[in-house]
Amino acid sequence: MNLSDPSEEPTSQERELEPNETREPQENSSRDSSMDEYHQLKQKLLVSTLVITIVVFVSVWFYYSLNIALNYLIGACTGVVYLRMLARDVERLGNQKQSLSKGRLAMFIGLIIVATQWDQLQVMPIFLGFLTYKAALLVYVLQTTLLPDSK
């Protein structure tokens, strides 16, 4: 090997890493950009869930009654809490945990049990309110599918 000829030297990408070397700067920037995208997605879903909740709450109040609208709102608030708990579990999934927790499902089951036992609460509006976060997911999927440039 000729020491004066740099063409035979391996580039920084081709050479093997020493045991104590890592390629963290590229991986960290990639991870940071992925986490930034994730936080933007989380924010979009939360905002669209809240907007859908407000629109449906006012519509139900106008067309049905305040009692049914409040039942819907209880379910929608539980759905927002569920979505935030899910997002927190997903954030921890790679770093600290190996699986998702089951506490979110217990919260929903508890709400439905309370709704069936308490006379003032109605199960259907609460259940549909809980599913509001799913409507926000559908809006996001349709928006990214039909209008891919408006992420």
Q: Give tens-digit pLDDT for 50-73.
A: 999 999 999 999 999 999 999 999
Q: What is the rounded radius of gyration, in angstroms, for the C-alpha atoms of the chain?
A: 24
Please tell me the distance from the alpha carbon of residue 6 to that of residue 141, in angstroms, as a whole number: 51
Average pLDDT, stretch 118-140?
92
Q: Take residue 7 and report the two structure tokens written for it.
A: 């063409």
- What are the sequence ranges of the domains in the chain? 42-146
Percent of the chain with pLDDT over 70: 74
pLDDT of residue 107: 86
Residue with tokens 């003032």: 120
Question: pLDDT tier at 11 (50, 70, 90 boundaries)?
Answer: very low
Distance of CA 94 to the CA centre of its chain: 15
Please tell me the distance from the alpha carbon of residue 70 to that of residue 61, in angstroms, as a whole number: 8
pLDDT of residue 15: 45
pTM exceeds 0.75, yes or no: no
Assess whether pLDDT exceeds 60 at residue 136: yes
CA angle 57, 49, 120 (to 5 degrees): 40
**pLDDT tens-digit readout, 24-52:** 455 566 667 777 888 898 999 999 999 99
